[in-house]
A and B are shown apart, each in its own frame.
Chain A
């Protein structure tokens, strides 16, 4: 099985990802229904995620995972940790 990087030490958060830059989801740092809904929509460790845009008032943001477009609040995206880009360990 492949090692999930960023576990525990995940510094980058989906909330801070600039628009248009792809990144890989590392860890969903929350429990309960939000985590289940994220997984159901395809936001899971290892998936490639991209921020499309932020709403006019800066929150929420629109992200793309695979072929799915998803609206997620800033506070919720703070709990989605990203893997570090390769070679940036």
Chain B
């Protein structure tokens, strides 16, 4: 299945495949792959949905996939999905496909929208002109889907469509002769336009192509423009033949845009929409994260009840169960995030949000869509890194992913509020607010600098504003689940390893108290370096190490190292089951609660979980200037292991390592600057 973006291809494959729909990734990419196996008239067929594309010559990696698949894994039939309400542009792609020399048929989808726009269409005319079966459809309402299935095997190679100016036709003929591939005409045209094709061709073909385009150029012909013009002219002609009547009507999209993109209301509506998406993700997932936490506690309780040797029992309860729990607790967050993103994207709202935010993001040389990952970063950096997928082009994705970890996630907020309350009781809000701003500033600077380093080409703001549509719920849920699963598979291992590593530092050598553990020794090694930041206490430094696993753990570790640890409580089997049941009940209730909470006002984070003992213990350990530099360091230093795993998943090992080292250096530099400034203004 090939077609322009937003032609309802996903809806169509869902309608055709029913429950056979399989969602995964294209090998070696993060691009979603939808496919289904069907039995049709005794034959097994596989339907594959290729990414939406405007042309076969790619301008983004996703689009590149289409020509590569078509040329290298030739399908038996191309189903060209065409938006009936946007014929001329869609038929341009149809004409490209017609030159591939493959059997095809046209699924003329969204007939209902074409009608609402005031168009009367004659699908038969298109069938006559192209010489291939044309099936009119409303995939979202299952209309015409059976008829399409029946004609699925009647696809034929279209008759020649586009007539190019004679010198070009001559060159195409000459070049095509030398190409041993069924798509030779399309390949010859692409080569003469000066494009690279995703297919291994003999050296002599490429040489002929270069010679022929040179001679066209010498006779004053811009082959690329002439070829495109001829195709557009034919698409125009075809559209005129199919459209039998048109009266301009105001569409639903026009009416919604009047409000959403309103010069005054647009901004506030945009912020409200972002707030809703943010709260949807975190309000609906947090009951389930809590449930996983409760499960973890019960399992740990059972381990303690088994009276194993202390070290083993701690390894199982804190290391293994804790680690696996950490991994799994990301699943609900990611699942709901993907749901929210898929809804924003397929409904058409995402493009509008990007439109509104574009000017602001341009300051950092980023496209408007970059706003979404950065906003999500305030909740949790991990889903924010994954949400960079909504951007076009790897460079933009990478730049935003490098900026995301500087956004103060809710885990860091817990630590900030504790320290701010202890050291700056009067100005706590301002200190926390200042840290938010500092993080944002450094994140945007990072994205800007990376753009500069990569050649300075500021990203393009060009994009289609697609019509508003209702997403297909089943596909959206399947996609969200497939992506969540890919996180668990890809990032689970590294996170678990990091948790186990920190556990070993804290608990080895066997039998040692915390002051004598490897953990304390590592912290002491860090002391000379951090003295320049005004931080001397080894316990504060040590807490940075488990902070690498998850930033909120810093508070817990501080509590243990200042106040001593509480032994894990044993738990009976039945009592444990009861706790699980009640936690599940709480989670279900919490999900219901999240619905009205979505519409309420956001309430700021509740007070940190640490008691007064820790506060007074901390108060003597740092000066105010030292506290500021500690907070700045905590804000900026290396992203937590889950974020790093997400970066590795999306961008590879190199960039994960880069993020880690770069952010350590930035954190150190900024913390030093903050400390010096604070001393200067008499904070010491």
Do A and B interact with each other, yes or no? yes
Which residues of A does B touch, CB under 8 Å?
A: 33-34, 36-42, 44-46, 52-60, 62, 66-73, 76
Closest 8 pairs between A and B when the two form their complex, measured CB to CB: A40-B54, A73-B461, A67-B86, A69-B465, A57-B359, A42-B89, A40-B55, A56-B266
Stretch of B24-32, B312-320, B348-356, B372-380 on the interface side: B348-356
**Cβ of B263 under 8 Å from chain A:** yes
Asked whether B228 lies within 8 Å of A71 as measured between CB atoms, the reply is: no
Given contacts A67-B89, A67-B117, A71-B354, whether A59 and B359 have CB atoms under 8 Å apart is: yes
Contact of B359 among A55, A66, A69 (CB under 8 A): A55
Asked whether A70 lies within 8 Å of B464 as measured between CB atoms, the reply is: yes
Asked whether A41 lies within 8 Å of B86 as measured between CB atoms, the reply is: no
With A and B bound together, what is the CA distance between A60 and B360 in angstroms?
10
Asked whether B232 lies within 8 Å of A71 as measured between CB atoms, the reply is: no
- A7 CB to closest chain B CB, in angstroms? 12
Given contacts A41-B89, A44-B229, A67-B88, whether A55 and B356 have CB atoms under 8 Å apart is: yes
List chain B residues, Cβ under 8 A from A53. Answer: 261, 263
With A and B bound together, what is the CA distance between A62 and B87 in angstroms?
20
25 contacts between A and B (CB under 8 A): A33-B59, A34-B462, A36-B57, A41-B462, A52-B257, A53-B263, A57-B359, A58-B359, A59-B358, A60-B355, A60-B358, A60-B368, A67-B85, A67-B88, A69-B253, A69-B466, A70-B464, A71-B351, A71-B358, A71-B461, A71-B465, A72-B461, A73-B358, A73-B461, A76-B461
**Cβ of B362 under 8 Å from chain A:** yes
Given contacts A56-B264, A66-B89, whether A40 and B59 have CB atoms under 8 Å apart is: yes
**Cβ of B460 under 8 Å from chain A:** yes
Asked whether A41 lies within 8 Å of B54 as measured between CB atoms, the reply is: yes
List chain A residues, Cβ under 8 A from B356. Answer: 55-56
Asked whether B463 lies within 8 Å of A71 as measured between CB atoms, the reply is: yes
With A and B bound together, what is the CA distance between A37 and B59 in angstroms?
7
With A and B bound together, what is the CA distance between A53 and B358 in angstroms?
14
- Besides A42-B232, A55-B266, A68-B464, 8 more A-B contacts (Cβ < 8 Å) are A38-B462, A40-B59, A59-B358, A62-B355, A69-B253, A70-B464, A71-B461, A73-B358
List chain A residues, Cβ under 8 A from B460. Answer: 33-34, 37, 73, 76
Specify the main secondary structure of chain A where it touches its partner.
Answer: mixed
**Cβ of B267 under 8 Å from chain A:** yes
With A and B bound together, what is the CA distance between A44 and B463 in angstroms?
15
Residue of A41, A46, A56 ringed by the most chain B CB atoms within 10 A: A56
Residue of A38, A55, A66 ringed by the most chain B CB atoms within 10 A: A55
Asked whether A39 lies within 8 Å of B228 as measured between CB atoms, the reply is: yes
Residue of A46, A66, A69 ringed by the most chain B CB atoms within 10 A: A69
Asked whether A70 lies within 8 Å of B463 as measured between CB atoms, the reply is: yes
With A and B bound together, what is the CA distance between A52 and B86 in angstroms?
17
- B46 CB to closest chain A CB, in angstroms? 28
By beta carbon, the residue of chain B nearest A42 is B89
With A and B bound together, what is the CA distance between A62 and B465 in angstroms?
8
Contact of A37 among B264, B266, B462, B466 (CB under 8 A): B462
With A and B bound together, what is the CA distance between A71 and B266 in angstroms?
15
With A and B bound together, what is the CA distance between A33 and B580 in angstroms?
56
With A and B bound together, what is the CA distance between A68 and B261 in angstroms?
17
List chain B residues, Cβ under 8 A from A59. Answer: 358-359, 362
Asked whether B88 lies within 8 Å of A66 as measured between CB atoms, the reply is: yes
Beta-carbon contacts under 8 Å, B85-122 to A: 85-89, 92, 117
- A42 CB to closest chain B CB, in angstroms? 5
Given contacts A56-B263, A56-B264, A67-B117, whether A72 and B355 have CB atoms under 8 Å apart is: no
Residue of B228, B355, B360 ringed by the most chain A CB atoms within 10 A: B355
- B660 CB to closest chain A CB, in angstroms? 32
List chain A residues, Cβ under 8 A from B87. Answer: 67
Beta-carbon contacts under 8 Å, B261-279 to A: 261-264, 266-267
By beta carbon, the residue of chain B nearest A28 is B225
- B612 CB to closest chain A CB, in angstroms? 48
List chain A residues, Cβ under 8 A from B88. Answer: 42, 66-67
Beta-carbon contacts under 8 Å, B50-100 to A: 54-55, 57, 59, 85-89, 92
Asked whether B355 lies within 8 Å of A41 as measured between CB atoms, the reply is: no
